[in-house]
Structure 1
Amino acid sequence: MPYSYRALLGACAVGALATSAMAETITVATVNNGDMIRMQGMMEDFTAQHPDIEVEWVTLEENVLRQRVTQDVATGGGQFDVMTIGNYEVPIWGERGWLLALDDLPEGYDADDLIPSIREALSVDGTLYALPFYGESAFVMYRKDLAEAAGVSIPEEPTWAQIKEAAAAMTDKDAGVYGICLRGKPGWGENMAFISAMANSYGARWFDMDWKPQFDSEEWQAAFKDYLEMMTNYGPPGASSNGFNENLSLFQQGKCGMWIDATVAAGFVTDPEESTVADKVGYAVFPNKEGVDNHGNWLWSWNLGIPQSSDSPDAAKAFVAWATSKEYTQLVAEKQGWRAAPPGTRTSLYKNSTYIEEAPFATLTKQTMDAATPEKPSVQDVPYVGAQFVSIPEFQGIGTAVGQQFSAALAGQVDADTALNNAQQLTQREMMKAGYIK
């Protein structure tokens, strides 16, 4: 080999080593859902723009993610530079000074394009403390072919009585088809997100105006017992272990007549490469109990925030700005189609006629998000904010403990009355301990 060529190779090797040595590494903690996994497949674009930043991923199941990032941010552990967190955590952690303010976003980011309700949910005193990757409410996804074969129709605004009737008609356990799939896995953001929204649609509330728990109310009794009845009679086996991802898989495999869950799921159930029922899905708004003017609309977003303990705040800001930008949405659309675009965060997406045409769920998603009223989640007066959660620091522990009681009832380990009574007692005890109840 000529000397000059060997010298050139050596220089290149030294240059590559120098670039690698200078690269700044950030660690991103994220949830193991489809949109966040998809982002990891788009990293070539980020690396091309930021060759001096390397990204390491820690991808975790939802309940584990929440536990890990909460512990890290509360102790200033510095394990993560970017955290995937919800609109429950952001205002609480931002107010406590645990998150970096994102008031110096890159030129062209266009924060004014963020959907106002999402932006407000991620702000403290007008300052953003996280950027939204996707937003959602909840609605009914159902198999149009199974409903037609069973002789039932799902109206655009169904009641729970109509849902129960349809679930019974579409259930064919011999064929491995279950009329309804709902979350049963315990967790404040798993089964309790759904059950809290369902309870709201029955006219229930977590607390009265004196912060006294309400699980002994008629509304909670009716909602929870209907939930158990539907899941016991028409739901899949092992439902007490099923969360969002598990039910998504069941629906994609054609095993669910209906699935009532996050609107973001629609992009995956209509993906012909992943879903066997992609062309057979219909949509309806979240049900209500007849006579109750509340469709249980929740409002949620998965967001990227930067803990104060990060050693690489500038690199972390570059990443979260890229991942939540309009350009990222365009990148996804180019590679996987507009149906796959992260929904529910930017006004401009819902003015895009191509997206509206290619994503049959888009209009109803925006409609349900706009209808969400986290400032008044129940028809009764409440002292808290939050549609499918209660926006107080103690809710993370209380909601998970109640979720464990309700999951145990679904598994047949306790009856409904025992689960509700246990939920009432443990919630009251924790609220007294925290000083809400004198």
Structure 2
Amino acid sequence: MSRAHVRAVLVRAAAALLAVSLAGCAGWGGDSAGSGGADSIDVLMVNNPQMIDLQRLTEANFTRQTGIRVNFTVLPENDVRDKISQEFSSQAGQYDVASLSNFEIPIYAKSKWIAPLDEYVAADTAFNQADILPPMTKSLTADDGKLYGEPFYGESSFLMYRKDVLDAQGIQMPAKPTWQQVADIAARVDGKQPGMAGICLRGQPGWGQVFAPLTTVVNTFGGTWFDKDWNARVDAPEFKQATQFYVDLVRAHGEVGAPQAGFTECLNNLVQGNAAMWYDATSAAGTLEAADSPVKGKIGYVAAPVVKTQSSGWLYAWSWSIQQASEKKDNAWKFISWASSRQYEELVGGQLGWSRVPAGKRASTYANPDYLEEASAFAGPTEQAISSADPRNPGVQPRPALGIQFVDIPEFTDLGTQVSQYVSSAIAGQMTVDEALKRGQRLADDVAERYRSRENG
């Protein structure tokens, strides 16, 4: 996702193979996959804007420097996830590198579909792994303690609000608000400007839609999808309290059409003056502060709201991994180390503008005066949100799997999406939260039983 977290339904990361008959786009980077020789690699990646910039810059820079030709296959997100799942699970070796997120990487590593990168990192001191923000490194490290991905760009979540609207009501936004404070502010500013809701929160079904923000709310209210022993906790009091709070807030003071509102709808609402606040991805700030944005300079950015935890922002990264079956791992690493390097960010900043830098992964980015001049309004809160995210310990209790806004198991794509449909129905007033989570608990129990059986077997 630049805004990958916002897609309605993502891949079943380790599910059955899916036959995808989609032609890749070679574009500026070279020929179609599999056509190169010993001095070429094949890269399969999502068609997000940052990747398209990379594709355009590769031949004149990376290839000229190394002599390694890069053949890109570029596809829309859902298509590329399906194709990567098909390719990497079969270990066909057609592609050397693929763009994967921190959701898939631990799963693929466990299946031995991707190669560990530790030896390359140790030998390549110029890459400077210590500069990668620690939560990113953690989220791309599997249970075996090995690193399997390098981030291209990353994000967390924070609260965005109209400074002028709050100022007009004499409201001071805390630097680290609680969810109750946010709800109180939403009530006070709701309707103070014509057509402006107090807050926008996703209500659209999808584990990557409503449950991206909602699971972080569950975490900080003290809830969890599963406890450390793989007992489902979807109908537990803390999960219910968080979901009831979220549903009540968006129904009372949220946007029009909330059950169909996802990332894009809320972004448009804030840009168009239809919402005073929005809790969502840090990646949204670039659009809000763009030169042509009607709200440029009017938005404040503070930490994700909390209740029982110190922080609650999520963590997401589009990253690079090497297929285990690749016969060109050395050249693949050379590409990855260039694409995720500080030098590449400086190349983008110098040639395309600092607003297009694939940020959110390196500490040095947030000390770069050129970048900070362009992103001064949100750079600090973004870096703080990412740095405070802890994918191994996002709540108040131990978890059986990685993840902040998701549970890092293949089954979660289906589970989260099905339960989200019930929650969206509750937002629409078609069922109660209790009924939604009662149904969700039955689904989560089925998943939990499989994992308990494996561990006990």
> Shorter-chain TM-score category?
0.7 to 0.9
Cα distance in structure 1, aligned partners of 2:430 and 2:52: 35
Offset of residue 121 of structure 1: 2.5
Q: Does 1:139 align with 2:184?
A: no
Which position in structure 2 is the counterpart of 1:287?
305
Cα distance in structure 2, aligned partners of 1:196 and 1:216: 14
Cα 1:152–1:71 change in 2 (3 A) is farther
Cα distance in structure 1, aligned partners of 2:415 and 2:36: 46
Cα 1:154–1:31 change in 2 (3 A) is farther
How many equivalent residue pairs?
Answer: 416
Offset of residue 156 of structure 1: 0.8
Which position in structure 2 is the counterpart of 1:207?
226
Q: Report percent identity of matched pairs.
A: 38
Offset of residue 143 of structure 1: 1.4
Cα 1:66–1:170 change in 2 (3 A) is farther
Q: Does 1:73 align with 2:91?
A: no
Which position in structure 2 is the counterpart of 1:258?
277
Cα distance in structure 2, aligned partners of 1:137 and 1:148: 26
Which position in structure 2 is the counterpart of 1:431?
448
Which position in structure 1 is the counterpart of 2:11?
none
Which position in structure 2 is the counterpart of 1:97?
112
Q: How does 1:267-346 map to 2 (within 5 A)?
A: 267-273=286-292, 275-289=293-307, 292-310=308-326, 313=329, 316-346=332-362
Instruction: Judge conservation of contact 1:26–1:312 (CA < 8 Å) in 2.
Output: no
Task: Give the RMSD, CA atoms, in angstroms.
Answer: 3.2
Offset of residue 218 of structure 1: 2.0
C-alpha deviations, 1:130-161, integer Å up to 9, x for none?
A: 11012222111111122223443321111212
C-alpha deviations, 1:185-233, integer Å up to 9, x for none?
A: 3333332221110111111122234322112222211211221222223
Structure of higher CA gyration radius: 1
Instruction: Judge conservation of contact 1:53–1:315 (CA < 8 Å) in 2.
Output: no
Q: Does 1:219 align with 2:238?
A: yes
Cα 1:420–1:317 change in 2 (3 A) is same
Instruction: Judge conservation of contact 2:134–2:387 (CA < 8 Å) in 1.
Output: no
User: For 1:178, what is the secondary structure of its paired residue?
Assistant: coil
User: For 2:198, what is the secondary structure of its paired residue?
Assistant: strand
Cα distance in structure 2, aligned partners of 1:247 and 1:45: 38
Cα distance in structure 1, aligned partners of 2:146 and 2:228: 29
Cα 1:255–1:142 change in 2 (3 A) is same
User: For 1:233, what is the secondary structure of its paired residue?
Assistant: helix
Instruction: Judge conservation of contact 1:200–1:294 (CA < 8 Å) in 2.
Output: no
Offset of residue 310 of structure 1: 5.0
AA aligned to 1:101 is P
Instruction: Judge conservation of contact 2:230–2:452 (CA < 8 Å) in 1.
Output: no
Cα 1:29–1:342 change in 2 (3 A) is closer
Which position in structure 2 is the counterpart of 1:363?
380
Offset of residue 169 of structure 1: 3.5
Instruction: Judge conservation of contact 1:113–1:347 (CA < 8 Å) in 2.
Output: yes
Cα distance in structure 2, aligned partners of 1:39 and 1:309: 24
Offset of residue 419 of structure 1: 1.3
Which position in structure 1 is the counterpart of 2:203?
184
Query: Where do 5+ consecutive residues of structure 1 fail to align?
Result: 1-15
Cα 1:306–1:410 change in 2 (3 A) is farther
Cα distance in structure 1, aligned partners of 2:176 and 2:436: 30
Q: Does 1:403 align with 2:420?
A: yes
Query: Where do 5+ consecutive residues of structure 2 fail to align?
Result: 1-29
Cα distance in structure 1, aligned partners of 2:287 and 2:447: 38
User: For 1:180, what is the secondary structure of its paired residue?
Assistant: coil
Cα 1:21–1:225 change in 2 (3 A) is closer
Cα 1:258–1:80 change in 2 (3 A) is farther
Match of 1:110 among 128, 136, 139: 128
Instruction: Judge conservation of contact 2:47–2:75 (CA < 8 Å) in 1.
Output: yes
Cα distance in structure 1, aligned partners of 2:272 and 2:416: 30
Which position in structure 1 is the counterpart of 2:76?
60
User: For 2:199, what is the secondary structure of its paired residue?
Assistant: strand
Cα distance in structure 1, aligned partners of 2:36 and 2:443: 53
Which position in structure 1 is the counterpart of 2:13?
none
